[in-house]
Amino acid sequence: MKGTKFLISFLILSISTQVVAQTNSAGISAKDALQKLVEGNLRFVQGKSIRPNQSVDRIKEVSKKQHPFATIIGCSDSRVPNEIIFDQGLGDLFILRTAGQVSTYASWGSIEFSVVVLGVNLIVVLGHTSCGAVGAACKAEDVPGHIIALTNSIKPAAEKVKHMEGDYLDNAVKANVAYQVVSLRKLDPILSKYYNKGQLQIVGAVYDLETGKVNYLSEEYISTITK
């Protein structure tokens, strides 16, 4: 009974917030949201970060409600702190991080929550250079514990580029992001519906550990590498 009541309450909350989400999502389109990320990363790379929305007033403001303008699905690597590299602040980004940015059921539910309830209409799958999880998948060696769940998820992308020209790890990192982007675009019942209707954009990018720059994958690359 308690579970049923919780489900009903969640559905009511979802429906009511969807009305806000359609006109909200921080008040900007997916295109403008992406531009904010690009501009923020440029400031970070140039050493001109303004560190917005990090004041005491902002703490109080977002304690009441949140309207993040983008969802970032990134790697857990300590060298890739999302708010810092995109020069954003409290309440700006909805973030999920796992090694190799591998998504499973809990991750999918969280992503769907950001879209349906919070009104986010831009999702960025963010990989990074020299990713240890991708590297482990490339080596195809035995790994301990539940780490194998991560490497097994990445192996299809790593195998795809195994004989491609260029650096194997770099190629695998980009392919892994591309595979994850396509997977999310096809994920039923929510993300695929929103994406196919043009209400949601899902893009891929790779953060360069040496330069701090975020480079976005082209649609042509994503389409070609995931065929």
Per-residue pLDDT tens over the stretch 35-94: 999 999 999 999 999 999 999 999 999 999 999 999 999 999 999 999 999 999 999 999
User: Is residue 29 scored above 70 in pLDDT?
Assistant: yes
- Res 4: pLDDT: 42
Measure the CA–CA gap between 34 and 188, rounded to whole angstroms: 24
Report whether the peptide linkage leading into residue 189 is cis, meaning its omega lies within 30 degrees of zero. yes
Q: Is the pLDDT of residue 10 over 80?
A: no
Q: What is the pLDDT of residue 145?
A: 95
Q: How far apart are CA 163 and CA 81, in angstroms?
A: 32
pLDDT tens readout for residues 84-123: 999 999 999 999 999 999 999 999 999 999 999 999 999 9
pLDDT reading at 5 higher than 60? no
Measured between alpha carbons, how far is 137 from 153 in angstroms, rounded to an integer? 9
pTM (2 d.p.)? 0.89
Q: Residue 2 above 90 pLDDT?
A: no
Measured CA to CA, the distance from residue 141 to residue 148 in angstroms comes to 10
Residue 198 scores a pLDDT above 70:
yes
Residue 36's pLDDT is 98
pLDDT at 27: 74
Identify the DSSP state of 95: E
pLDDT tens-digit map of 120-166: 999 999 999 999 999 999 998 789 999 999 999 999 999 999 999 99
**Kind and range of the H or E run holding 208:** none
Q: Which pLDDT score is estimated for 26?
A: 62
Tell me what percent of the residues of the chain surpass a pLDDT of 70. Answer: 89
CB 34 within 8 A of CB 201: yes
